[in-house]
Amino acid sequence: MSVVNAEIIAIGNELLIGDVQDTNTAWLCARITGLGGVVRRATLIPDDRQIIAETLHAALARGTQLILTCGGLGPTDDDMTLASLAYALGLPLLESPEALAMLTESFQRFYRAGYTHNPDLTPERRKMAMLPAGGQPLANPVGAAPGVLLRHAGSVIVCFPGVPEELIGIFEGALGPLLRDLFGTGCYDEWVVEVRTGDESQLAPAVNRLQRDHPGVYVKSRARPYGATPRLKITLCARGDDCREVSRLLQAARQDLGAAVSALGIEIISG
């Protein structure tokens, strides 16, 4: 069973002052998990060259196969993800003709649509075409800044803009073939069971036993605030190369869960 491991690095001061809720990380986690991969860690850091470089080095040192960064690809000076990556990896920052062509096309499009008064590639716009040497631009179907794909020492690094719609557009679009290549036929599936109790501690012995009896399935019960709707979610999930085996593992765990919950006199609402 060869599972691709991934890390996410979300970059932007606005995340750490609490001005923006980072939703990119959860979205990427769900997608990578759905493709059969494992996200091992996500880190939110400021727009700071040294910290970006250190965080990237740490992810590479952990042998991370897929490193996804979000944010810091825009036109202002505090957008410094690509320059920091180049610095971290000792690569020159070069103007990519392919990225420049994408930017030219984007700003012509924005100009025709009336979103900008001027379609010219000003220095601030050209900045978005400066990629670490070897970087491959990924077309941004929504905004201006292209994503970037860079292979380094056995790892794949993908840089996304921070605007969620743009990140999603690149992930679903230009990145598709790479993802199919990287993840192959890995399988992930999950089963969510809702039961009628608000008391996680009452279920805890059953959940603990279930986890011990089914080591190939990850079992998670989710607490809600006491006194809120008296229902509790239990998630069963499994991953592997063989989709039928994944499904078999989940069904066996679901059966034992049902028996344990019924034995406690707790009703199953759904799942």
Binding to a second copy, residues 103-162 (CB under 8 A): 106, 110, 113, 115-118, 122-125, 128, 142-144, 161-162
Q: Which residues have C-beta within 8 Å of that of residue 79, sequence separation ≥ 6?
A: 47, 71, 72, 73, 127
Q: Which of 15, 150, 236, 257 binds a second copy (CB under 8 A)?
A: 15
Task: Answer for the pair 25, 7: CB distance below 8 angstroms, yes or no.
Answer: no
- Residue nearer to a second copy on the CB measure, 134 or 271: 271
- Residue nearer to a second copy on the CB measure, 235 or 247: 235
- Can you tell me the distance from the alpha carbon of 158 to that of 66, in angstroms, rounded to the nearest whole number? 8
Count interface residues toward a second copy (CB under 8 A): 80
Task: Spell out where the chain has E strands.
Answer: 5-11, 38-45, 66-70, 93-95, 130-132, 136-138, 147-152, 155-160, 187-195, 218-222, 232-240, 268-270
Stretches 30-38, 147-155, 171-179, 247-255: which one binds a second copy (CB under 8 A)?
30-38
The tokens of 160 are what?
């996304």
* Minimum distance, C-beta of residue 230 to a second copy, in the bound complex (Å): 7
* Residue 172 near a second copy by CB under 8 A: no
* Residue 216 near a second copy by CB under 8 A: no
- Residue nearer to a second copy on the CB measure, 177 or 227: 227
Stretches 74-82, 91-99, 152-160, 173-181: which one binds a second copy (CB under 8 A)?
74-82
* Residue 49 near a second copy by CB under 8 A: no
* Minimum distance, C-beta of residue 185 to a second copy, in the bound complex (Å): 19
| DSSP letter assigned to residue 115 | S
* Residue 97 near a second copy by CB under 8 A: no
Q: Pick from 19, 18, 41, 46: which is nearest to 28 by CA?
A: 41
- Residue nearer to a second copy on the CB measure, 63 or 133: 63
* Residue 207 near a second copy by CB under 8 A: yes
Q: Which of 151, 180, 196, 220 binds a second copy (CB under 8 A)?
A: 220
Phi, psi of 200 (to 5 degrees): -65, -30
Stretches 148-156, 170-178, 222-230, 245-253: which one binds a second copy (CB under 8 A)?
222-230
- Can you tell me the distance from the alpha carbon of 249 to that of 238, in angstroms, rounded to the nearest whole number? 7
The tokens of 208 are what?
């603990």
* Residue 204 near a second copy by CB under 8 A: yes
Q: Which of 237, 246, 249, 253 binds a second copy (CB under 8 A)?
A: 237
- Residue nearer to a second copy on the CB measure, 85 or 219: 219
Phi, psi of 22 (to 5 degrees): -70, 115
Q: Which residues have C-beta within 8 Å of that of residue 208, sequence separation ≥ 6?
A: none
